[in-house]
Structure 1
Amino acid sequence: MTTFLGELIGTGVLMLFGTGVNANVSLKGTYGNNAGWLTIAFGWGLAVFVAVFVSGPISGAHINPAVTIGLATAGKFPWADVPMYLAAQMIGAFIGSGLAFILYRNHFKLTEDPGVRLGVFSTGPAIPRTFDNFLSELIGTFALIFAIFFLVEGDGLGSVSAFPVGFLVFAIGMSLGGTTGYAINPARDLSPRIFHQLFVGKNSNWQYAWIPVFGPIAGAIIAAGLYILLGSPDNSLINP
């Protein structure tokens, strides 16, 4: 139960800060309105930093189904624990994005554009092309998971990993995030989209919703496969 709560809290913190920076930059009347992509990417990087620092010692701070599935595929995490982690991540992401909505509720009232309101919660493509959008999420998540393998000791991330992982997410946002908004985390996109559908808007763009779920999962599995192919961290191919 402690591990479940740790993962739930970590993912909730991630989404409170992450959805919060989206709202601050996108919604009308905020002090951060129109602050730009750099602010969003930096805000998400810091969101990951705080979430990993808080929950790392408790649950290993996966805070992302793609991380959990990638670690399990590489043999670094037991498959039997995967459903519990996924449930905690989905619930935590829902709660965190809900708290951000409560915080910015008056600014949501000022913002009439339904696309902007949805964009606070979920990602969407700059150019809608199914294959390219899927590939973008796959590559972004591949970069995330493959790098994480070299930061992991045991079955998750500890607080010592908070800064490098946060910086990694910031780098992905700046370099690879311009095509789809870099979900690279199924819980980060799906749970807030559900919250949006229930409490904020009527059209949550469900025809796109599968891409930021299955693209990251595919990227995580491919990253795990390459990691296995190279060998374990003790293998001379990785640590000569």
Structure 2
Amino acid sequence: MSPFLAELIGTAILITLGAGVVANVVLSKTYGNNSGLIVIAFGWAIGVFTGVYASAAASGAHLNPAVTIGLAVEGSFDWDKVPSYILAQMIGAMTGAFVAWLAYKKHFDATEDGNAKLAVFCTAPAIPNPLYNVITEIVGTFVLVLGALLMAKPEMKLGALDALPIALLVLGIGVSLGGPTGYAINPARDLGPRIMHAILPIKNKRDSNWGYAWVPVVGPVIGGILAGLVFKFVIK
């Protein structure tokens, strides 16, 4: 695979499983209805594991503009490649959101709650406060990107399980830092599916909450930049 295709496919897998687990928890008449945050966090972690495993050899498995930008700031990734990686991640995220919607189409139709339908696609704050919502996303993404940088060259390899540490890190971020904002920690993960929510023919859907959409983009980008700077000037 080319790096572009690898990032697209890896991100699509990530969002298919991530949005899928949210749909399983929040939509009506599913077997996983109301199973809670732990199930959601595990689903996203498995999505990360599978997406990273599928794309690592071809692209390095960024699957996240904040990771791509953080690596470029740190100096281990070429800035010229950043736009193509982010484009692939966005297309992949939109594709994954579409697949998750298709898989749960009848449950979308059966669900009355427009907020639940929106939650399948994108994040929203438990307590709306733009400053603190951005801070939460900065902190979560900083932990993600710094952790990814520290794990990039481990002394011991795990073979086929090399994707496991980053998946466990995402699981930890979800259960530890996911409460305030739903832990987007990835601009493509939130923006791509939010666009799909806006354009898909979802029965009785609400608006796509565009007033909040900048938070899970700006916060993760800042977090990724800060992690890249800390790694470059303090740790490396």
Q: TM-score, normalised by structure 1?
A: 0.93
Matches within 5 A, 1:156-195: 160-195=161-196
2:33 partner letter: N
Quote the Cα distance in structure 1 between the aligned partners of 2:57 and 2:141.
Answer: 23
Q: CA deviation at 1:34?
A: 0.5
Match of 2:124 in 1: 124
Aligned length: 229
Q: CA deviation at 1:160?
A: 4.7
Q: Which runs of 5+ in 1 are unaligned?
A: 233-240
Quote the Cα distance in structure 2 between the aligned partners of 1:141 and 1:50.
Answer: 20
Matches within 5 A, 1:1-240: 2-153=2-153, 160-199=161-200, 200=202, 201-232=205-236
Per-residue Cα deviation, 1:187-231 (whole angstroms, up to 9, x for no partner): 000000000000133500000000000100000111111111224
Quote the Cα distance in structure 1 between the aligned partners of 2:136 and 2:225.
Answer: 15
| 1:150 alignment partner, SS class | helix
Q: CA deviation at 1:159?
A: 5.7
Match of 2:156 in 1: none
Quote the Cα distance in structure 2 between the aligned partners of 1:160 and 1:230.
Answer: 29
RMSD: 1.4
Matched-pair identity in %:
51
**Following superposition, which runs of at least 4 residues in structure 1 exceed 2 angstroms of deviation?**
158-161
Question: For the Cα contact (< 8 Å) 2:90–2:188, is it kept in 1?
Answer: yes
2:125 partner letter: P
1:170 partner letter: L
CA distance 1:159–1:72, shift in 2 (3 Å): farther
